[in-house]
Amino acid sequence: MKKKVAVFANGWGSDILRYYMGSLKENILGQNADLYLFMGHDAYGMAHNESECCIYELPVLDQFDAAVFFAPGLDFAHVNEGIVNRCKQAGIPFITVGKVLNGAISIYSDQYKGMKPLVDHMIENHHVEKILFIAGPRDHFDSNERLRATKDSCHEHGVDFSDADVLYSNWDVMSATRHIREMIEKKKKLPDVIMCANDATAFFISFVLEENGYNVPGDVLLTGFDGTMKSKTFYPSLTSVAQPFETMGQKTAECLAAVFDGKQVASKHYIPCEFVIGESCGCDVTAERDALRREICRQIPSDQARAGFRRGRLHYMENAVLKSERYATLKDSLQEYFYENDGQEGNPFFVFIDPNLGKLGECEIEELPKYTYSDHMDMLIGKYKKTHYEARSINIREQLLPELPQDGEEHMYVFLPLYVKSFVCGYMVMSDEIPYIEKNIYEDFQSSMNNILETYVKNLKLSALNDRLSDLLNKDPMTGVRNRVAYESYMLSLKDRIASGDHADTAFVMFDLNDLKKINDTYGHEKGDEYIKNGCQLICETFVHSIVFRIGGDEFFSVLWGKDYNNRDSLLESFKSSLAQIEASDKSPEEKVSIACGMVVYNSRSGESVDEALRRADDAMYADKRRIKQARGVDQA
């Protein structure tokens, strides 16, 4: 039996996650295990997106053999606690990467020992005396370890450094850059070096300095932490600390293999970081970095071309969704597009949607469940290699994907959340293209689909409003059938179809309620209204497959097509038989309906016009009315 490993990660740190997942996927080969990556894109320093984080609650963990929690970037307390508690409840082994947790196999790097050589280098080699340290959140362990190393190095070297030299940015680059701008605007002396607790912050600080006429490293030195490929190809390349994410991925695969073999595994695995010298501190490593930059430049035309194709694919995806005005037709619109060919969404590709999405035309999002997945989802798209799955409903508590063919290969399935505000309405599953993580292609597809769904909901509401307006315009409020306005529009459309050569046999039936004036005068208009509704009900129940119009106070009209047309004579006979039974009954006056009717067959090929056929139907109805009067022997019809 193939093993299933759930991996929880935040795509916000895509540049580091790419190296970890690439290494894990490569090193898990041969273990007969599939990776299920549950990935949101919730950024620090922004309003926390509860809907985004619901993806981590999607899997039922007792259906998995192990779990991996990639902590960098996923430091939301309630999310972390939820994942850990569910792993413990499921009784499955779980591995934490970048964080030490009780009960877990922990793989981590020593942030302190990685940062200390960097600070020593800045003081000993570049003689810095004034340091500004831009930290993450106040309670972030990794950030605080990097800060502790900075404080200790300064103390050892006699460099003045206090809490006033620390800016807690909460990983919000806007907060960090705003602080630097304010220093410049107020003409405050800039520090000798700005040390950032991650590379991403350092990039933006560099931009702000350059915009304001400051050169790095000429005027201000700058450092980061993470040592990603971007930090090496950035200009100036960052002096940083490289976290060993590839080695961590390899170690994770080794631990999983040992666990699957039933072996004992140590609870803690320490992997050292590497101090990386760049140009941003003033050291000369330009030749080495230029070689990397040239390689990146060679990829730019290809990346731009693929980005253009992706934008086109996403545009057509939007059209496919938005052309469907009803949830019932959404499946057909999507399948028509995605089953025709493969794009950068890859293969396999699945889209699961909560059928409650269709209710949003009639209700508000606040009326639907918040921040949770429903048990049942509709699989609207299902592509796996050459197999195109029929749309169907699945219970996601029992399975997240349909049964897939056993091809002897190991896969990584990437699960991405779909939502409209607080309504978590589904998830996408995309193929295992590791470069998609760093190039943010998964995020592009996910965010595009979420934006499309938000617009789609607006369309549903507009369509529902149009339906209500149409009902007001075209529906008879008393009986619920179509009214005179709808009748005239329908007949005009029918004439246009015939004029364009669309010929089909049909039948017209005119109805007129007898005795309505007598009922109104004798029993009142409320009873008269009941009389009209009872007559309409009998017509609709007999000609159940046909359109019925109320074209006057006591007049109705129906057009018979298809099954009703083929059975027209027997239906008319049944209708008259029902009227006879009612006539002979002891029903109340408003229930004892009497209806004159006339039916004619219309064949547009005969040369007869629609209006001429309607006059024949009218004549036939009046002939029936005369027959009813004669049968009663009194002039009361």
Q: So where are the chain's domains?
A: 109-244+271-290, 484-632
Nearest CA-CA partner of 383 in 360, 426, 350, 428: 350
The percent of residues above 90 in pLDDT, for the chain, comes to 65
Domain 109-244+271-290: assigned CATH number:
3.40.50.2300
Please report the pLDDT score of residue 332 as a whole number. Answer: 84
**Residue 233 tokens, joined:** 């190809």
Distances (CA, A) of 38 to 7, 99, 254, 374: 6, 18, 21, 17
Q: Is the predicted pLDDT of residue 303 greater than 90, yes or no?
A: no
Q: Is the predicted pLDDT of residue 48 greater than 60, yes or no?
A: no
Amino acid type, 404: L
CB 414 within 8 Å of CB 442:
yes
Range in 108-117, 144-153, 316-325 the model is least confident about: 316-325
What are all long-range contacts of 418-421, with beta carbons under 8 Å and residues at least 24 apart?
Answer: 418/351, 418/353, 418/446, 418/449, 418/450, 418/453, 419/51, 419/52, 419/54, 419/450, 419/453, 420/357, 420/360, 420/365, 420/450, 420/453, 420/454, 420/457, 421/51, 421/365, 421/454
Nearest CA-CA partner of 412 in 431, 386, 387: 431
Range in 32-46, 97-111, 140-154, 487-501 the model is least confident about: 32-46
Q: Is the predicted pLDDT of residue 45 greater than 50, yes or no?
A: no
Q: Is the predicted pLDDT of residue 341 greater than 60, yes or no?
A: yes
**Residue 284 tokens, joined:** 């000369």
Q: Is the predicted pLDDT of residue 75 greater than 80, yes or no?
A: no
- Cβ–Cβ contacts within 10 Å for residue 441, how many? 20
Q: Is the predicted pLDDT of residue 93 greater than 70, yes or no?
A: yes
Exposed, middle or buried, 186 (CB in 10 Å: 0-12/13-18/19+)? exposed
**Residue 40 tokens, joined:** 């949101």
- In this prediction, residue 607 has a pLDDT band, given cuts at 50, 70 and 90, of confident
Residues 164-189 have pLDDT tens digits of 999 999 888 999 999 999 999 999 99
- In this prediction, residue 43 has a pLDDT band, given cuts at 50, 70 and 90, of low
When pLDDT is averaged across residues 329-335 and rounded to a whole number, the result is 84
Nearest CA-CA partner of 57 in 369, 378, 384: 369
Q: How far is 534 from 480, CA to CA, in rounded Å?
A: 12
Range in 260-264, 303-307, 513-517 the model is least confident about: 303-307
**Residue entry with tokens 């926390």:** 48
- In this prediction, residue 636 has a pLDDT band, given cuts at 50, 70 and 90, of very low
Q: Is the predicted pLDDT of residue 46 greater than 70, yes or no?
A: no
Q: Is 550 left (phi over 0), alpha (psi -120 to 50) or beta?
A: beta
Averaged pLDDT score across all residues of the chain? 91
Rounded to 10°, the helix 441-474/286-322 angle is 20
Q: How far is 357 from 176, CA to CA, in rounded Å?
A: 40
Distances (CA, A) of 8 to 11, 69, 137: 10, 5, 21
CB 100 within 8 Å of CB 141:
no
Q: Which CATH class is domain 484-632?
A: alpha beta
Please report the pLDDT score of residue 15 as a whole number. Answer: 84
When pLDDT is averaged across residues 490-509 and rounded to a whole number, the result is 87
Opening angle at CA 68, ends 66 and 72, nearest 5: 175
Q: Is the predicted pLDDT of residue 340 greater than 90, yes or no?
A: no
- In this prediction, residue 44 has a pLDDT band, given cuts at 50, 70 and 90, of low
Nearest CA-CA partner of 542 in 595, 603, 604, 588: 595
Largest CA distance in the chain: 123
Please report the pLDDT score of residue 163 as a whole number. Answer: 95
Range in 233-247, 529-543, 571-585, 602-616 the model is least confident about: 602-616
Range in 36-50, 441-455, 525-539 the model is least confident about: 36-50
Distances (CA, A) of 562 to 280, 504, 546, 557, 568: 79, 10, 9, 17, 10
**Comparing 109-244+271-290 with 484-632, is the CATH topology the same?**
no
Q: How far is 512 from 480, CA to CA, in rounded Å?
A: 17
- In this prediction, residue 470 has a pLDDT band, given cuts at 50, 70 and 90, of confident
Rounded to 10°, the helix 568-584/525-542 angle is 140
Q: Is the predicted pLDDT of residue 89 greater than 90, yes or no?
A: yes
The percent of residues above 70 in pLDDT, for the chain, comes to 98
Q: Is the predicted pLDDT of residue 123 greater than 90, yes or no?
A: yes
Higher-scoring residue by pLDDT: 420, 29: 420
Please report the pLDDT score of residue 281 as a whole number. Answer: 96
